[in-house]
Amino acid sequence: MAKASRPATDAPPERPPASLITRSIEGIGRRVLSGLEDLGRVTHILALALANLFVRPVRVRETLRMMEFVGVQSLPIILLTSAFTGAVFTLQSYRAFAMFGAQAMVGGTVGVALTRELGPTLTGLLVAGRAGSAMAAEIGAMRVSEQIDALDAMAVDPINYLVKPRIVASVLVVPMLTALFDFVGCLGSYAIGVGVLRLSRPEFMVRLRDWVDWDDIWTGLFKALVFGLIIGTVACYKGFYTTGGARGVGLATTSSVVVSSVAILISNFFIAYALP
Amino acid sequence: MIIDPVTGAPAAIRYEGVHKSFGTNHVLRGLDLIVPRGKITAIIGRSGTGKSVTLKHVMGLLRPDRGEIFLGDVNLMQLNPKALRRVRERFGVVFQNAALFDSMDVFDNVAFPLLEHESFSSDVVRAKVTAALAQVGLSAAVHRLPSELSGGMRKRVGLARALIRDPEFLLYDEPTTGLDPILSAAMDELIYETQQARPALTSVIISHDMKAVLAIADKVAFLVDGRVVHEGTPEYFAQSDDALIRQFLAGSLDGPMKV
């Protein structure tokens, strides 16, 4: 019995041109797979950093250096932004409440908004833009100039040396900056509310004290802690997996800010939803 | 004990049938190589033939898809990450672009391996760093940042850093690339002197600088398409009539290797 004959060529059979629908589905599939790969790598780098948390050397000096970089060097932008955020929010709230003759509520409203939402979220976004981008750029530059390979070659774990101190510093410092943001924001609100809009000082303070309770403050600080974890992890991840020279460093830096910012905004919703 | 047939010295490193691919790029295709103990082995070959990949495998920075690598009698493939890290402590590496830490001055760069792995007093660290920098002729540059150094100086700092812990193995990844001929000759001289001062040191050099390779190496391995196609003494290469070797040594466009 004769065998079925094959075409007399070794070349693989040509695929028919993909339709628009097929190409679209392939594109979506590629993006999903790429996203899952990114998620896996971020989780992996975070897990390695956590596993290294108490592994010697603990890197106290490097962690303090990063806390100074993330925290102290972010102070001017945090102070400026928080004061003006408190001030502008007071101004807009005053105009809205004035329509109902409820101007006295301004202090409390601004206080709750600052401690629960604006403080942690704006602090997170500012730190992601200033310190997160710099961390991604620094680690990315070290990757493309073989400095991370040099660490490996010298038997120094890059996760322990580079990633752990940055994540720990971000987690510790962002809540501190947030507390400062809340305080200075309230001062800005007080200055405009009492100083410019002539609200009653005792009423402003009473509403602020009565409406803002410890739950609001702890919720905001918890959010800040999560945002710090996001900023440190995403920045280190983007820097650590940088490829492609100077252009790659630029892309990693931009991507670090974008991904951190989006992750902060999304996680903010879920935390707000989960916590009363 | 396995003896290297080219130099007659015992094998320090052995690659046996090593394959490595990156995606669809099959870089190493069954690499077999013996690196003799206490000698300088040069790995030559065109760009992209897997020379740097070969070096990274022996430090455990890359794992082969197939094949085995032995450091003495130890099979690196059977070591866990912690044990591999201990193996790396026996190596010194001079990177192509030196890979110095930008944020540290020369002193801190050279002291870095000591501070990470030893518990010497600051006086001992200072003495060792000073001696290492004197050996590479950079005593005056101790407080300069890498960005303030020339290419040749950076490579010499890289060599001082690689030597600071007195390694058993010293790997050079294109140590003279980017240097002018005079600086290249000075670097070659430094590599040769380093080897002469440390008879037990096993050195591996990746280089395109054929003049230097033939002058300082004890053994030369020629990689083509991820395999060693020729190995021998520098004299063997200098006198060979093989078309591949002649073309590579002459840097000629005419020959079996096409651009």
In a domain, residue A89? The reply is yes
Mean pLDDT of chain A: 92
The residue-averaged pLDDT of B32-44 equals 96
**Domain total for chain B?**
1
Contact B95 A150 (CB under 8 A): yes
In a domain, residue B25? The reply is no
Q: Smallest Cβ distance to B88: which of A141, A145, A155?
A: A155
Going by C-beta distance under 8 Å and a sequence separation of 6 or more, which residues neighbour residue B215?
B188, B192, B234
Bridge partner residues of B33 (DSSP): B15
Using the structure block, give the residue that is written with the tokens 């604006």.
A118
Mean pLDDT of chain B: 92
A275 pLDDT above the threshold of 50 = yes
H helix intervals, chain B: 51-58, 81-88, 106-117, 122-135, 151-163, 181-197, 210-216, 234-239, 243-250
In a domain, residue A217? The reply is yes
A203-216 pLDDT, tens digit each: 999 999 999 999 99
A70-94 pLDDT, tens digit each: 999 999 999 999 999 999 999 999 9
B135-174 pLDDT, tens digit each: 899 999 999 999 999 998 999 999 999 999 999 999 999 9
Q: Smallest Cβ distance to A147: which of B59, B91, B99?
A: B99
A contact test, residue of B52, B100, B112, B116 with most A CBs within 10 A:
B116
In a domain, residue B131? The reply is yes
In a domain, residue A11? The reply is no
The residue-averaged pLDDT of B62-84 equals 92
Contact A147 B88 (CB under 8 A): no
Phi-psi region of B8 (alpha: psi -120 to 50; beta: other; left: phi over 0): left
- pLDDT-derived band at A8 (thresholds 50, 70, 90) equals very low
In a domain, residue B46? The reply is no
In a domain, residue B52? The reply is no
What was the pLDDT predicted at B184? 86
Partners of B62 on chain A (C-beta within 8 Å) are none
Q: Find out whether A37 and A155 touch, Cβ atoms under 8 Å.
A: no
Q: Return d(Cα A126, Cα A149) in angstroms, integer.
A: 31
| Nearest residue of chain B to residue A56 (CA atoms) | B116
Q: Return d(Cα B22, Cα B50) in angstroms, integer.
A: 11
Partners of B88 on chain A (C-beta within 8 Å) are 152-155
In a domain, residue A84? The reply is yes
In a domain, residue A30? The reply is no
A10 pLDDT above the threshold of 70 = no
**Does A152 touch chain B if contact means CB atoms closer than 8 Å?**
yes
Looking at this protein, which amino acid is placed at residue A192?
Answer: I
Q: Which two tokens stand for residue A37?
A: 């790969």
Q: Return d(Cα B236, Cα B213) in angstroms, integer.
A: 12
Q: What is the ipTM of this complex?
A: 0.88
Partners of A150 on chain B (C-beta within 8 Å) are 93, 95, 99-101
B80-135 pLDDT, tens digit each: 988 998 899 999 999 988 999 999 999 999 999 999 999 999 999 999 999 999 98
Using the structure block, give the residue that is written with the tokens 């300069």.
B144
Q: Find out whether B190 and B159 touch, Cβ atoms under 8 Å.
A: yes
Work out the minimum CA distance from B103 to partner chain A, whole angstroms: 10
- pLDDT-derived band at A13 (thresholds 50, 70, 90) equals low
**Domain total for chain A?**
1
Contact B102 A156 (CB under 8 A): no
Q: Find out whether A170 and A127 touch, Cβ atoms under 8 Å.
A: yes
Contact A156 B99 (CB under 8 A): no
Q: Return d(Cα A102, Cα A89) in angstroms, integer.
A: 15
Q: N- to C-terminal Cα distance for chain A?
A: 78
In a domain, residue B139? The reply is yes
B213-237 pLDDT, tens digit each: 889 999 999 999 999 999 999 999 9
Domain range enclosing B128: 100-166
B contact test, residue of A143, A154, A159, A160 with most B CBs within 10 A:
A154
Domain range enclosing A104: 63-274
In Å, how far from its chain's centre is CA B5? 21
Q: Find out whether A42 and A263 touch, Cβ atoms under 8 Å.
A: no
B175-208 pLDDT, tens digit each: 888 888 888 888 899 899 999 999 999 999 998 8
In a domain, residue A2? The reply is no
Contact A150 B93 (CB under 8 A): yes
- pLDDT-derived band at B61 (thresholds 50, 70, 90) equals confident
